[in-house]
Amino acid sequence: SLGLFVTGEVSLWGAADGDMIEVQLDPGAVTFSDPTATAASWPLASGAVHTVNGLVADQVTNTGAPVVTIGPGETALAMDIVVPPNGYRSDVLEGIVLTNLGTAADPDLAEIRLWRDGGDGTFDGVAGGSDDLDLGPMTAQPGQWNSPLLGAPVSAGGARIFVSVTADVAATDSTTVRLGIPTGGLVLTSNNDGPIDASVENANSILISTAALLVTMEIEPLASTVGDSATARMTVRNSGSNLIQGITPSTLDLTGAGQLTVTGAAGPASLDLLPGQEGVFVWPLRADSAGVVQLAGSATGTEIPTMQLRQSLQSPSNVHEIFQQANDLDLFAVESMPATVSRGQTDVVPMSLSLTNPGSNASSDIRVEEIRFRIDDGAGNPVVPADVIKRVTVNEGSEVFLDKTAIETTGDEVVLALVPPLGQSVLIESSAGSAGQATLSLSLEIADSTVVPAFRVLVPDSTAIRAEDAISGAPVNVRLQAGTYPVASGLARVVSAPTQLDVSGTTGLDTFVVQGQSDVTLLDLEFLNPDPAGLAADIRISSFDVGLVDSTGVPIHDPDRFLKNIRLESPLTTYLDRPLGAQDDSTLSLVLSQLISLPNESPLSLSLVGEIADSASLEMFRVQVGDSASFDARDASAGNPVPVVYATDPLQGGRIQVMKVAQQARVRGTGLLPAGVTVGDRDVAALSVQLIHPGPAGVGAIRCDSLTVRLRDERDNPLVPGTFLDGATAYLGGAPVGVNTSPPASGDLMTVPLSGVSVSAGQSASLELRLDVEASAPASFLEVVLEGPGIHLVDAQVGTPVSAVADSGVSFPLESNLA
């Protein structure tokens, strides 16, 4: 056995608050490479419903505001976020709550103001000609800042919100501002409030300084790998009212676990800045060890004409992260090509590629930028891609990285460039992160007019997947984790779409059944996937409707009044076993527990079989198949619906009359044996037995299967049948219905088996037993005796025993007379 777990990851932007998620597998969702019977109670359900609840921090895109130093009365961008919609639903942002994680007190801040991006993706709310929409100032409350009622629409792309901070003219020197949105800080009309799990915080701080020299430190780029070069930039601004000359930078201080080494002197050596001017010092850096690192520095100059020394605050840079170089990318390929595909079929997945970044959390992310695969006919002969496919999609779940329709018209190779403008690269984080693996599906759309009879997909070697370190751009080696190259899918046979499903039924004769009777054939059906050319795909049938009608064709709305259950079966397979109950109506939906798979030109005969209810109404009914539209019949390759055609409409079984089980028969007898018989006499009448069915209309017929008689002499001594008789025959209406040509050679009992002896309710039947006397029989008196148990009676429908009782004025045993 093999245990499989179905897992899922809720989409950050695709699921809406309040969505209920449950997994259900229908029979068609489980396929095997070889014909395989499944035993399950379909559909398989998870038994648990998961409700999407609330906005989480990862749904908020935190673009981040840069590190900056500002003076009193100056404004800077302090936060840059994108508020998501409620999944696939638009929403309205009603309010935002912010907290300052820095050291500045509320009086140090003249204003915190909200802006909505006007569309250019750049914060320019304080510049002339701004396209940003002013959402108003926030109000300081104890420990937090609250927005006014915003009413800002949040559409499918989200709402980009900027937060600006203005330092008070009397702000305290050396204080900092670092804004965050606490849990519950985003309020939306849909009640998709959040974040519910963690705060959203800006990584960098704003430094407020009252000095004449203001320094802002930056490290570019934001990340590097060991051995890479980087740059430190110190922007110095003269916020004073006089010229400052001979400005020089301090030595850079480094903090953090990583190591950045300054590899050259700062340039330029010094700066002279007029009031309002700024200049930049630049240092070359080298990343020497992995980890997070920050730099800090200051600048000093002489103010003219006061000749006073002016020094800036020590200003920290942005956080820079150094990673170990990514060297390897692990590949695990899973083949999933269906055995048959149809022309024009979509979403054919020949294989999935699981790519894992095996590095530690100190390693770089890996970017996959190209995948190549080949197509052949299964025997190594190349197939031109455009001859068999017209589209290729690369996706992971709902995220599509490439949708390619310009398929190669020469060679046998398909190149999937996962780079703009046609595609999107796949970023695989280090395995210590939450997204250390990406499972990419290659999804094909088959050409509508392809004449390629069969094909498969192959990843030829490790160079077929081009990956690189996401930071340095250095190539990464792809390591196959199982099997060898080339990695090949299964071979898919290209078939045509089935044109129709033919369904016919055998009406059958009227049937009499009794209450509680099992295995009653209600209707014989035959299914055919017609295709003389033999190219059509299989048809899979998962459900259809039936109903019960009365003798006049009127639908029966309480079918459980007649049936306990209904089955659809062949001699070897049960496709459905469905109980009926009070909830059922005139339409019974038959959802098959095992899918019917119907190859072309291979008729399949199935029977609808039922069990009659124990107290079923003593009426007539028949089974009728629902409208042809009730069939869920699909192309097994493409999954498209297949039209259903009935041989006759409606399709219905024979009429079934429900009877009660017969319980008892009355019996009378008349002795016919003459006073004397001669050895060798033939066909001597011995005993007449009359079977009387006392039941009223609606009671089942009684069948007599045999008569067992005993032989005795005048003193009631037993006689051996084989000594005195050569045989015995039973007659009904003058026709023989049973014979025993070999009377037993021991004991005194002889059984005559009967055939075709049946008595309907209110009717009777007379049997006559005749003897053939043995030619060598010794002289003796002879009498035939029939006891009640010797009359083997059963209900004609279900075979349950029926008791034989003596009729009024008659007693057992019945006797033939003494001869």
Looking at residue 581, which CATH number applies to its domain? 2.60.40
Domain assignment present for 590: yes
Last residue in a domain, options 467, 495, 523:
495
Q: Read off the pLDDT of each residue in 678-700 and give the average, rounded to a whole number.
A: 94
More confident residue, 43 or 39: 43
More confident residue, 583 or 399: 583
State the Cα–Cα distance between residues 293 and 296, nearest whole angstrom.
10
Domain assignment present for 384: yes
Give the containing element (helix H, strand E) for 209: none
The yes-or-no verdict on residue 431 having pLDDT over 80 is no
More confident residue, 494 or 30: 494
pLDDT of residue 33: 59
pLDDT of residue 773: 96
State the Cα–Cα distance between residues 689 and 807, nearest whole angstrom.
11
Span 29-38, pLDDT tens digits:
676 655 565 6
- Categorize the per-residue pLDDT at 507 as very low, low, confident or very high, splitting at 50, 70 and 90: confident
pLDDT-above-70 percentage for the chain: 97
The yes-or-no verdict on residue 379 having pLDDT over 90 is yes
Instruction: Give, as one character, the DSSP assignment of residue 513.
Output: E
Tokens of 642: 């297949």
State the Cα–Cα distance between residues 808 and 762, nearest whole angstrom.
16
State the Cα–Cα distance between residues 7 and 15, nearest whole angstrom.
16
Residues 239 and 161 in one domain: no
- 464 close to 372: Cβ distance less than 8 angstroms: yes
Residues 178 and 67 in one domain: yes
- Categorize the per-residue pLDDT at 532 as very low, low, confident or very high, splitting at 50, 70 and 90: confident
Q: Read off the pLDDT of each residue in 305-314 and give the average, rounded to a whole number.
A: 96
The yes-or-no verdict on residue 656 having pLDDT over 90 is yes
State the Cα–Cα distance between residues 152 and 115, nearest whole angstrom.
10
The yes-or-no verdict on residue 435 having pLDDT over 70 is no
Residues 222 and 190 in one domain: no
pLDDT of residue 45: 79
Residue tagged 């919609």 (tokens): 85
Cα-Cα-Cα-Cα dihedral sign, residues 93, 99, 101, 102: positive
Residues 655 and 670 in one domain: no
State the Cα–Cα distance between residues 499 and 343, nearest whole angstrom.
13
Strand order in the sheet with 271-273: 271-273, 243-249, 299-304, 309-311
Domain of 286, CATH number, reads 2.60.40.1530
Give the containing element (helix H, strand E) for 95: strand 91-100
pLDDT of residue 359: 84
Q: What letters, b where the CB count within 10 A reaches 16 and e where it falls short, cover 314-347?
A: ebbbbbbbbbbbbbbbbbbbebbbbbbbbbbbee
Residues 121 and 158 in one domain: yes
Domain assignment present for 160: yes
- Categorize the per-residue pLDDT at 501 as very low, low, confident or very high, splitting at 50, 70 and 90: very high
Q: What letters, b where the CB count within 10 A reaches 16 and e where it falls short, cover 571-601?
A: eeeebbebebeeebebebebebbbbbbbbbe
- 505 close to 625: Cβ distance less than 8 angstroms: yes
pLDDT of residue 434: 47
The yes-or-no verdict on residue 49 having pLDDT over 90 is no
Q: Read off the pLDDT of each residue in 357-365 and give the average, rounded to a whole number.
A: 87
Q: Read off the pLDDT of each residue in 629-634 and give the average, rounded to a whole number.
A: 95
Domain assignment present for 8: no
Tokens of 586: 């005139």
Instruction: Give, as one character, the DSSP assignment of residue 313.
Output: P
More confident residue, 12 or 353: 353
- 749 close to 669: Cβ distance less than 8 angstroms: no
pLDDT of residue 129: 61
Domain assignment present for 121: yes
Domain of 149, CATH number, reads 2.60.40.10
Tokens of 632: 């869920």
Q: How many helices (H) and strands (E) does the chain have?
A: 1, 70
Rounded to two decimals, the pTM is 0.64
Residues 200 and 347 in one domain: no
Domain assignment present for 47: no
pLDDT-above-90 percentage for the chain: 82
The yes-or-no verdict on residue 6 having pLDDT over 90 is no
The yes-or-no verdict on residue 468 having pLDDT over 90 is yes
Residues 375 and 488 in one domain: yes
State the Cα–Cα distance between residues 55 and 165, nearest whole angstrom.
26
Span 86-144, pLDDT tens digits:
999 999 999 999 999 999 999 999 999 999 999 888 998 776 667 899 999 999 999 99
pLDDT of residue 767: 97
Residues 160 and 77 in one domain: yes
Span 556-586, pLDDT tens digits:
999 999 999 999 999 999 999 999 999 999 9
**Residue 815 Cα distances to 211, 440, 668, 785, 786, angstroms:** 136, 90, 11, 5, 6
- 810 close to 669: Cβ distance less than 8 angstroms: yes
Residue tagged 């179905």 (tokens): 6
Q: What average pLDDT is seen over the chain?
A: 93
The yes-or-no verdict on residue 268 having pLDDT over 90 is yes
State the Cα–Cα distance between residues 736 and 770, nearest whole angstrom.
10
Residues 679 and 795 in one domain: yes
Residues 68 and 175 in one domain: yes
Span 748-783, pLDDT tens digits:
999 999 999 999 999 999 999 999 999 999 999 999
pLDDT of residue 34: 59
Total of domains in the chain: 5
Residues 571 and 668 in one domain: no
CB hemisphere CA count around 438 (13 angstroms): 23
Last residue in a domain, options 602, 630, 659:
659
- Categorize the per-residue pLDDT at 462 as very low, low, confident or very high, splitting at 50, 70 and 90: very high
Domain assignment present for 729: yes
State the Cα–Cα distance between residues 611 and 581, nearest whole angstrom.
13
Lowest pLDDT segment from 46-50, 339-343, 699-703 = 46-50
Domain assignment present for 15: no
Last residue in a domain, options 274, 300, 323:
323
- Categorize the per-residue pLDDT at 432 as very low, low, confident or very high, splitting at 50, 70 and 90: low
pLDDT of residue 127: 61
Structural domain that includes position 298: 213-323
Residues 655 and 508 in one domain: yes
